[in-house]
Structure 1
């Protein structure tokens, strides 16, 4: 079932019935993007479209056609960001008191069955970026690691099937060990 939140191709939909957890940094990043779109980029594009509309035949006017298309893209993204921000539940991982267990915002180092170590940070769906070692709270690895403790062996679903991984370390921002 598609929702209005699904109209942005770059962002994954939230699983039904889940909260949209986000770190303060992720929330600020989305707010800044929305501000940039609505206060900077959109007014520039509106100005170009107005100028182009005054040049006569709009059917062959590239500035007008592209500008209108870009306005639709900006408005769609702004609606998406507005809804995501409105439904966001901001959680500061630095305030986590139970640091011996994996929760939202934790950076977890684990080893797989081949003794390959990997470190991931569990973040909200709108801020996770696998290239930076960040995974969504709803990803298979995050679901497997959540509530685990150092030394626990958990099973995670991979494309090749179930794989066991051992939690080696858990860190939260704001505290150095």
Structure 2
């Protein structure tokens, strides 16, 4: 049937689904066990939400269901390529994926601790940084007492490794 014979009110909006955290092509999707469990729990919550959608109209229900389907699809794609890293197999004296790293930053006397995690787990509010972030990249491979330098536009920021835990 020609689009000329379709009522405007019958057209459903295509839901815009925000993409998941960026994972560049060719980069392995490393995750911690905690991160994998969080993605599986997120998927289960969306499945439950989809099965209990309450909407004023059937059209609203379909739009919301399509939105959730798209989000679930993106998440399942990410889960399918995830590689869980066993933190107990990481070298204790060297910063690698999953490490909790305590740092002295610049001349500050305050120590800060960050965990290097997967892109879907990263949350700076929880002191979790992605393994592909500039800071993580300069820290990976460093040992206790070593320094890493992050070159910024106006200065170099020095990070001294004070502690490493898994």
**1:41 to 2:49 alignment:** yes
Describe how 1:12-161 pairs up with structure 2 within 5 A. Answer: 12-38=21-47, 40-45=48-53, 48=54, 62-96=56-90, 98-115=91-108, 116-158=110-152, 160-161=154-155
Task: Report the CA distance between 1:157 and its aligned residue.
Answer: 4.0
Post-superposition Cα deviations, 1:39-79, rounded to whole Å, max 9, x if no partner, equal x221222xx56xxxxxxxxxxxx433332221122011101
CA contact (8 A) 1:155 1:163 kept: yes
Gaps of 5+ in 2: 1-15
What is the TM-score of this pair, normalised by structure 1?
0.77
Q: Distance in 1 between matches of 2:46 and 2:29?
A: 22
Runs (4+) of structure 1 exceeding 2 A deviation are 7-11, 62-66, 157-162
Of residues 7-16 and 17-26 in structure 1, the stretch that sits farther from structure 2 once superposed is: 7-16
CA contact (8 A) 1:106 1:122 kept: yes
Task: Give secondary structure in 2 for the equivalent of 1:34.
Answer: helix
Post-superposition Cα deviations, 1:151-170, rounded to whole Å, max 9, x if no partner, equal 11111244654312111111
CA contact (8 A) 2:20 2:74 kept: no
Task: Report the CA distance between 1:137 and its aligned residue.
Answer: 0.6
What is the TM-score of this pair, normalised by structure 2?
0.81
Gaps of 5+ in 1: 1-6, 50-61, 173-177
- Number of equivalences: 150
